[in-house]
Amino acid sequence: MTNWVIGKVVEVNWWTPSLFSLKIAADIKNFTAGQFTKLALDVDGKRIARAYSFVNAPSDPLLEFYVIEVHNGALSHPLAQLKEGDNVWVYSKPSGYFTLDELPKADTLWMLSTGTAIGPYLSILSDGKLWKQFSRVVLVHGVRLNTDLCYQEQIRATEKLFEQFTYVPLVSREKPEVGLGGRVTDILKSGQLLNYCQLDALPADSHFMLCGNPDMVKDTTLLLQQLGFKKHRRVEPGHITVEQYW
């Protein structure tokens, strides 16, 4: 238990009735953008812990986490009850390999996400190291409803600052107010993603980071493999790096 430290909630931001962000002050070890740690609460005498990716850049003084409140969720529901000044357990040793320093050299970086799995990408974007590493960066964020497209102010500001950055909002369950409609695999198969990015084909010198629900990760990986791309491994560099978000 010595790796757990007490964090203090500094800010709670509700985006929708079920999506919220927590900003927490906690003394933990340094992390790399794209990594995660665990949050925990003691509920009925039992410590309930779950992994959450950092949304903030490593240089930020406050830790930020993007959370969906799941109905009867063992931890997400208690987390949703937290208010400014409340305490929460934070695991002090971040972990994970969904980071830029694990990627091979490439020209175009595709960041494909669904739901709250946009979190690690926001940390990577805020960190800023990717702008020197890639000539082009495309962030696709798949959600169910238009209102689920959170962090818009931060993302739009990034668009204005970096010409090499393209943001693709993707809404699956209603007509999109901006961006495209459908699922990640839909816009890959149909060519809509390429058209949106003003490309004739997926660049051969691409790397794809996939982060989200297991079905999206599995189906998109298979589709990319059918297009000639292969999974990336340390012992065998490839084009696809994945992280499932539950």
Name the pLDDT band for 246 (thresholds 50, 70, 90).
Answer: low
CB 75 within 8 A of CB 66: no
Question: Tell me, what's the pLDDT at 72?
Answer: 87
Q: What is the pTM of this model?
A: 0.96
pLDDT at residue 181, as a whole number: 98
pLDDT over 80 (residue 245)? no
Contact 145, 173 (CB under 8 A): yes
The alpha-carbon radius of gyration of the chain (Å, integer) is 18
**Average pLDDT of the chain to the nearest whole number:** 96
Average pLDDT over residues 193-202: 96
- Residues 30-73: tens digit of each pLDDT: 999 999 999 999 999 999 999 999 999 999 999 999 999 998 89
Angle between helix 152-161 and 119-127 (nearest 10):
40
Average pLDDT of the segment spanning 216-223: 97
Write the burial class of residue 4 (CB in 10 Å: 0-12 exposed, 13-18 middle, 19+ buried). middle
Task: Work out whether the CA dihedral 21, 52, 3, 46 comes out positive or negative.
Answer: positive
> Is the per-residue pLDDT at 156 higher than 90?
yes
Q: Give residue 196's pLDDT band: very low, low, confident or very high (50, 70, 90).
A: very high
Which residue segments constitute the domains of the chain, with CATH numbers given? 4-91 (2.40.30.10), 100-244 (3.40.50.80)
pLDDT tens profile 66-119: 999 998 899 999 999 999 999 999 999 999 999 999 999 999 999 999 999 999
Average pLDDT of the residues in 183-204: 97
The whole-number pLDDT of residue 2 equals 84
Residues 5, 89: Cα–Cα separation, whole Å = 6
Question: What is the percent of the chain where pLDDT is above 70?
Answer: 99
Measured in degrees and rounded to the nearest 5, phi and psi for residue 190 equal: -80, -15
